Structure 1
Amino acid sequence: MTRTRVMASTKATPKFSYIARQPILNSDRVTIGYELLFRDGPNNSFPEIDPEKATSQLLSDHFLSTHYHTLGGKLGFVNFPYHSLVNMIPTVFPTNSLVIEVLETCPPSVELLTSIRHMHKQGYKIALDDFIPSKEWNAFLPYVSVIKFDLRQTSVDIAKQFMARTKQFNIEFLAEKIETYDEFQKAKAAGFTLFQGYFFARPEILQHQSLDPSFLTLIQLCKEVAKDQLDYPALEAIISRDLSMSYKLLSFVNASASVSSKIQNFKQAIVYLGEQRLRRFISIVAIASAQKSKPHALYTLSIQRARFCELLWQRAKKRDNSIEQGAAFLTGMFSLLDSLLDQPLENILQQMPIDSAIKLALLQHKGTLGEILDLAIGYETADWAHVSHLADKLAITHADVISSYDDAIEWADVLMDMNL
């Protein structure tokens, strides 16, 4: 099977990450923190992008790497969509520098309340963004540190009445969209203690060159965190080979106030995070690094084929046992790299230190791995005569081929739901 593709220019061009930050001030006009707003370019406006993707990109590029440059020791107010909150994504980050903003689009469900209660117990500050009073949110109030009123949507008088009714809670109130000195004075007189708006400062665009982990690193890490039991030495080995992932991990861990002394190596960092936070850390980076130009189905197919090849290799009674078990997984995964990276497969493989058996399988479809890859592709394209021939040659029962494919689909769906 031969594929021909016009090779794109290989000249590297810098990739930049953008963020807007708008100061949040106290009654004395002293900046106590910044609301961090995702941007995909130098234009100071929110792009058309999925909110979950925007949050992951912001967190990956700024909280996981340029944390101190972005915040300067102040609080970071970050918008979290519903699924990020119920999946406890904010708990990856240190409690001392993050204020978790619950977007106004989030429904006040029991599931959300459970997550908010848990994060509050861990020491996180919770803010309700663009809040409009309603009885459905009353159960959340004991766990909320800040409530933000958009004074273009809710009048100062209505906000003042709500503040009077909730004095028993230890909540600070933030007035958004302050645009004049008179509005600032009225909000302060009403009881607001935090302020944000164009009267103080417009959002400031910050730009820095972004570091994205390699596609290979992300796939290997996603595979590892999908396991029931994490293999810490394997994770350490993968992360240590990728500069950008290494940088994000160490920068992130050392930004935590609970670290009394600087963590110097990846093993310490991984152990410090623990299983849950490590899974979420990798999920955030994986989401943020997914190429926007590629359809979701292509990523799903690459992971599904990788697992299908791995299962076929395990069930083949006639195979080259000198090949490591993980080679079949990588063969399936790498078989779509030309489509994912828009480069000829031969050129991509020249840059990768992978086993010769994998290269032979990918480029010439030879050897045990080549036969397994052909079997997988034949099944995907319903070439049943070819599937039957290869299954017999590898001594894989037809029932095992079918069950391997079904298992691979289920495995890929679970992994993609977790990470992408």
Structure 2
Amino acid sequence: MKSYLARQPVMNRDKETIGYELLFRDGPNNAFPNVADEEATHRLLADNFLSSSTTDVTAGKKAFVNFPYASLIGRTPLLFKKQCFIVEILETCEPTDELLEAIIELNRKGYTLALDDFVPSPQWSRFLPYVHIVKFDIRVTPVEKAAFFIQHYKNSKLIFLAEKVETQEEFQQCHDAGFHLFQGYFFSKPEIVRRKALSPSALTTLRLYKEISQTEVDFNSIEAIVATDLSLSYKLLRHVNNMTYTRAKPISSFKQALVYLGEEKLRRFITFVATSHATADKPASLYHLSIQRARFCERLSQQLSPKLDSNQAFLTGLFSLLDSILDQPIEVLIDQLPLEEAIRNALIFQQGKLGCLLQLTIAYDKADWQTIKKISQSLKLDESIIADLYLESLKWAATFERTVTK
């Protein structure tokens, strides 16, 4: 059996990712509403907390997991360590005495509890002393109404989370209203700052991107660029040594590292380190998501008939967050890179086969199963294979990130 897993990031007031809500769906024929809540929860728990660790899927951060009524009454969370996840009480739950007893027991045993899609009502008031996080869907409960509730409980220990935050303006509005945590994709839709000067690190990154986008990599040009940035050159040298620890003698110069790696490995390695360098003052999600998208697009490209150029697919995924990383409009940045027309059209207009892969990647990030189904059919891709490749890309990105940050 196949499972569909997507993640939605949860961020704090500094736009730092503190966790991910894990979203489960069953096979291709049950992509959205037909999956029962109980089945979805049990399969997600079995796939990600019994048979494997969530470290790869959540990059070591907190996991938010939905629990429907029967699972809570049956004390299903008690089967797992309290550190495993944050227990989300689904909005479909009825505020019965039986449910309250279960919540009190979970609270006393140290589990972190969250009320999902909370709508203030007298029936739920008695639950509030035993929960830790209250989630408001700002598409259902206006920010102004939520702000009144937050103000009323400002002296409590409750943490308030705003869901469905899609823009920078909405983030600021929720921030001002007193929310502590935020869930949504506003960070991937950056506020356009036209003609904003690039920082020195961003300029270095863009110059490196130009070099790796060339048909043939110019080792001398890359060496000259990296030599101007002490932090980046040290970082590159350190990581190359991590990759080549079996050598009798360590690599002691960047020139030596270039020769050792060769063109293909160097292209990829520069890509990753340059991206992490540029996102040093950004949410870690940007770095992780950009390399995960790159891998996902690359793997998807090999499933098409005929196959697409895997390097083009990789760059499409990687550069899909370039506007967020460098705080510039995507079309302005793409004009400065020697990219193939197919990549340009994919990044700016989401057109062509590469554009379809990018749309599919974004849809998977958002758990937009209807769009996934539509694009999968148009590309003649098996949804179960796509699900496997998505999970593989999450684990691959997490593994790489750990090697980079050692």
Q: Which range, TM-score by smaller chain?
A: 0.3 to 0.5
TM-score (norm 2): 0.46
Larger radius of gyration: 1
TM-score (norm 1): 0.44
